[in-house]
Structure 1
Amino acid sequence: MLLAFDIGNSNTVLGVFRDGELLTNWRIETDSHKSADEYGMLVKQLFADQKIDRKDIDDVIIATVVPSVLYTIRHMVMKYFGIVPIVVESGIKTGLIVKYDNPKQLGADRIVNAVAAHQKYGGPLIVIDLGTATTFCAISSKAEYLGGTIAPGVKISSEVLFEKAAKLPKVELEDPGHTICRNTILGMQSGLIYGHMGMVEFIVRKMKKELEKLDGTGQPVRVIATGGLSTMISSGVECIDVVDKMLTLEGLEFIYEKNRHHGRRAPKNEEGLV
């Protein structure tokens, strides 16, 4: 079986695959202050709850946009699973032709999403990841990663409002149902949610025009959304064709299949399965 880690700024998603099928997944908080042992004990509890034996894990793959957590998770995997994990980084096989000016600056999550989306839906396409940041990625019909846009996510915008405006409270990220709001909380929710929907609509409309010219095939551009807020944002826009919450985990499994012989068992002195 394969254990996959998608380590984001706010949350870490774990998934267990058997023969390409996602058996189960969990979402936990990303915490740079946790030690390898704290993460290890947490993963042990998750596995025990689902009656999964850690000894059945043959390989591990990690994608992260949080370098400070990578060392911790890598060390945890070696100690608790006895495996040196595959890490999505420069030089790994993805099947994408990356047209970024400096490919090393491209986040692992964006690469993984692009791989999964092109594998599942073909191209040309736009992938929107609605997480801590909201990212837009353009992929051609030839599996070329052409570039994209990065914007503050809804949660970041909400936190900035709370921190920088003395009289504005923290609010839950919920759809208020209307824009003419008669109290501050609903007014903030309206601005955050509907403002983000408007941004998504505008960027997708503009990106589609650019992508159609760059792709040159005349094929329609599909728009795939993923991430924690994808369901909420997609409910208020017309530009999103598919919401795929498991896109990143599935992308990790696809990349693993292209690199599966790169993983190896940890040396005995590092193994120490606890």
Structure 2
Amino acid sequence: MLLAVDNGNTNVKFALVDDSGEIIQRWRIATDARRTADEYAVWLDQLLQMEGHKRSDITAVIIATVVPRALHNLQVLSQKYFGIDALIAGREPVSWGIALKVDEPRALGADRAVNAIAAQSLEPGIDKIVISFGTATTFDHIGTDGSYLGGSIAPGINLSLDALYNAAAMLPRIAIEPPPSQSVIGRDTVGQMQIGIYFGYVGLIEGLLGRMKAEIGRPVKVIATGGLAALFQQHSHLFDRVEPDLTLRGLAKLYANREGGA
């Protein structure tokens, strides 16, 4: 089985992928660049056992990371505890296999390139916009042939809420959740904050999507992913589909398509 690892700014996601390319288990742990290979191994070992697996079931490891300082310990985890040299997304022999038609291809986050690969496998032959809700919220345009054509980056909803709480002494810390009604006129402080954060973010999504679609000028499929995508799933007009495992699926696809396929 393949162990796919998506190392994001907030969480590290691990997935077991069977020989058919299907994800059969998934786990996440908070990102900490100081976390050692031994700490990962103790945590992961227990989870594998709980699901009836063992370390020897894992025959390959692939990693995508946007946190360079964390990569070394993940590579050590693979070598020391699985006896495998991990493949790194975007490095030979797992080059992207898609065109990155932007000014600085090397600066593109690995997760965004992997999402493009997964999106193309789900919706070939049509333009796509992938919205990834994470530490930042990214909007990416994927062409009909799977090329990455650019996008935009906005502060994630958690960052926006943290900034509001930290900068305004009288405002409480609140949970991120949809307001209880569709009204945008709140009657108390917490309600007003929920409205401002939630519907303000819906407005951001609607605005950027509208501008991107107009600029593309062709039919577009919108795919949402990331841990916070479910927050906005009730607004069915925003997305054509929600794929929480898009990045992990892209990693599995990238592994399957690596040079030689061996």
| TM-score, normalisation: structure 1 | 0.89
Partner of 1:75: 76
State the shift of 1:120 in Å: 1.1
Match of 1:203 in 2: 208
Please give the per-residue CA displacement for 1:223-260, whole angstroms capped at 9, x wherever unaligned. 00001111112323613110011111110000001227
1:7 aligned partner, one-letter code: N
Structure 1 residue 104 corresponds to structure 2 residue 103:
no
Quote the Cα distance in structure 1 between the aligned partners of 2:112 and 2:12: 15
* Structure 2, gaps ≥5 residues long: none
Question: What aligned pairs does 1:126-205 form with structure 2 within 5 A after superposition?
Answer: 126-176=129-179, 177=181, 178-205=183-210
1:171/1:185 contact within 8 Å kept: yes
Distance 2:203 2:91 in 1: 34
1:94 Cα offset (Å): 2.5
Q: 1:228 corresponds to which residue?
A: 227
4+ residue runs over 2 A deviation: 89-95, 260-263
Shift of 1:40: 1.1
2:16 matched to 1:3? no
TM-score, normalised on structure 2? 0.93
**Residue 140 of structure 1 contacts residue 211 of structure 1 at CA under 8 Å; is this kept in 2?**
no
Distance in 1 separating the partners of 2:239 and 2:258: 31
Identity %: 42
Alignment of 1:50-69 (within 5 A): 50-69=51-70
Structure 1 partner of 2:258: 259
Residues 178-229 of structure 1 show CA distances to partners (whole Å, capped at 9, x for unaligned) of: 32112222211111111111101110111112223xxxxx5x1100000111
Contact 1:225 1:242 in 2 (8 A): yes
Match status 1:246 vs 2:245: yes
Contact 2:90 2:96 in 1 (8 A): no
**Given the superposition, is the C-alpha separation of residues 260 and 112 from structure 1 closer, same or farther in structure 2, using an over 3 Å criterion?**
same
1:3–1:14 contact (8 Å) kept in structure 2: yes
1:49–1:111 distance in 2 versus 1, CA, 3 Å: same
Q: Distance in 2 between matches of 1:237 and 1:121?
A: 18
Number of residue pairs matched?
257
Task: Look up the match of 1:117.
Answer: 119
Could you tell me how far 1:97 is from its partner in structure 2? 1.0
- Tell me the distance in 2 between the aligned counterparts of 1:222 and 1:36: 39
- Would you say the 8 A contact 2:45–2:54 is kept in 1? no
Inter-partner Cα distance in structure 2 for 1:46 and 1:159: 31
Distance in 2 separating the partners of 1:165 and 1:26: 35
Partner of 1:30: 31
Give the Cα separation in 2 of the matches to 1:27 and 1:34.
14
What secondary structure sits across from 1:84 in the alignment? coil
Retained in 2: the 8 A contact 1:93–1:258? Answer: no
- Cα distance between partner residues in 2 of 1:207 and 1:228: 23
For the Cα contact (< 8 Å) 1:130–1:153, is it kept in 2?
yes
Structure with the bigger RCO (C-alpha within 8 Å, sep 6+) is 1
Counterpart of 1:16, as a letter, is L
SS at match of 1:13: strand
Amino acid at match of 1:153: G
2:13 aligns to what?
Answer: 13
Task: Find the residue that maps to 2:258 and give its secondary structure.
Answer: helix
